Amino acid sequence: MILSTHAVVGGAIASLVPSNPVLAAVTGFASHFAIDAIPHWDYPLPPISISKGADNRSLRSNGALIIDLTSIGVDACAGVALAIWLFATPASASVIALGATAAIVPDPLQFVHSVYPQEPLVRLQRFHEWIHAKRKLAWKLGVSSQVAFEAAVTVFASAMR
């Protein structure tokens, strides 16, 4: 899933446990793997590889890499902002941001694994690859299904609070 979808799900879960930051972070982190198992679409990142056997140690700074990093940054920041906007109260904003960020973290950890393939990242990467849906959706269905999924999660979390 794209990072903003992960952030919305992490924020939604955190909104159910607004006084427990540790639980919000742990469940947000775990939610990443659960929803990656659903067939989905991810935007392409040509210079950065996080696929099996990826090695980004020889990654060079160029225009394509800057576009990738900008896409990732906008996606992550928009997701955390959206999660705060959807779920936060003044008292719970930091826990919502924590849950949303924790839900994003497994993807940057894939990159860290590609440049530093050591434990516990090796095990985590193996698990991430194993649970990640093997079926990729075309972008039109992929985008619309993630928007619908985010809306459903928002309605569900609001009903549960």
Q: Which residues bind Zn ion (CB under 5 A)?
A: 36, 107
Residue among 114, 84, 85 at smallest CA distance from 101: 84
Q: How far is the CB of 1 from Zn ion (least distance, A)?
A: 7
Output the residue with the shortest Cβ distance to Zn ion: 36
Determine which helix (DSSP H) or strand (DSSP E) holds 10, and give its type and residue range: helix 3-16
From 47, 51, 50, 42, select the one nearest 65 (Cα to Cα).
47
* Smaller CB separation from Zn ion, 40 or 82: 40
* Residue 12 vs 88, nearer CB to Zn ion: 12
Q: Judged by CB, which is closer to Zn ion: 18, or 75?
A: 75
Shortest reach from residue 74's CB to Zn ion, in Å: 17
Collapsing DSSP to helix, strand or coil, 44 comes out as: coil
Nearer to Zn ion, 33 or 94 (CB): 33
Rounded to a whole number of angstroms, the minimum distance from the CB of residue 70 to Zn ion is 19
Q: What length is written for the chain?
A: 161
Least distance from Zn ion to the Cβ atom of residue 158, Å: 25
DSSP secondary structure of 71-100:
HHHHHHHHHHHHHHHHH--TTTHHHHHHHH
